[in-house]
């Protein structure tokens, strides 16, 4: 199944725009309960105004709120970003740490966010268990676990560590484009013949293809 999905999504990768670990960490925090496309719409202004953790740590809260408002929950997100930046400055000299055990001590950073940063900014393999990834691995029968940490460990045991980051991207792409939560496009799925959940969604090939979403415009 993983090989077939890899063939379907050879361009799978992080859909957040970033240039370094700081930008990816901030963008990932902002991506909660919104789309990557919307985050990409606000981060250029945010990073132009606050190019590093030191600048963001002393930012005016109202100004940050105004910039990130389009992503939703902007007051809570602005607070998270300020506390995150302050912790980076106080404990890591303004630099994003490259270890999971350090990243998860930062305000608002859990294993999911930490694994995104490790995999895409530092090249350290990690499994990112977001809602798409969790939904797909349960539908595929790879694990019955619901807890994200247990899902991470269960799926990690099935694949070589070097493949974890790539696997995460491929499954997230498939979840966003084909294997939707409410109406998966089963009839247009490359792993339909192997999937124990085939039939959960639309099986007619034409109808299913109409459900497949293209890549978001950047």
**CB 21, CB 122: distance < 8 Å:** yes
26 within 8 A of 46, measured Cβ to Cβ: yes
DSSP for 123-154 reads --------HHHHHHHHHTTS----SHHHHHHH
**What positions carry a catalytic annotation?**
112, 130
| Count of beta carbons in the 10 Å neighbourhood of residue 157 | 9
DSSP 173-210: HHHHHTS-SSS--GGG-TTGGG-TTTTSS--SHHHHHH
Interatomic CA distance for residues 134 and 156, integer angstroms = 13
Residue 80's H or E segment, with its range, is helix 74-92
CA angle 111, 181, 144 (to 5 degrees): 60
């Amino acid at each position: 199944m993983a090989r077939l999905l890899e063939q379907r999504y050879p361009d799978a990768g992080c859909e957040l725009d970033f240039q370094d670990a700081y930008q990816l960490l901030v963008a990932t925090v902002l991506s909660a309960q919104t789309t990557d496309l919307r985050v990409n719409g606000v981060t250029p202004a945010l990073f132009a105004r606050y190019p590093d953790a030191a600048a963001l740590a002393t930012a005016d809260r109202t100004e940050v709120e105004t910039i990130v408002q389009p992503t939703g929950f902007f007051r809570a997100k602005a607070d998270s970003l300020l506390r995150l930046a302050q912790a980076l400055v106080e404990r890591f000299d303004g630099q994003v740490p490259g270890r999971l055990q350090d990243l998860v001590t930062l305000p608002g950073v859990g294993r999911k966010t930490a694994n995104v940063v490790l995999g895409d900014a530092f090249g350290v393999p990690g499994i990112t268990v977001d809602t798409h990834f969790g939904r797909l691995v349960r539908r595929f029968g790879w694990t019955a676990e619901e807890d994200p940490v247990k899902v991470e460990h269960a799926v990690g045991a099935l694949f070589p560590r070097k493949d974890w980051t790539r696997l995460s991207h491929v499954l997230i792409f498939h979840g966003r484009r084909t294997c939707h939560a409410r109406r998966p496009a089963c009839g247009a799925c490359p792993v339909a013949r192997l999937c124990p959940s085939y039939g959960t969604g639309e099986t007619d090939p034409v109808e299913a293809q109409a459900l497949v979403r293209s890549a978001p415009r950047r």
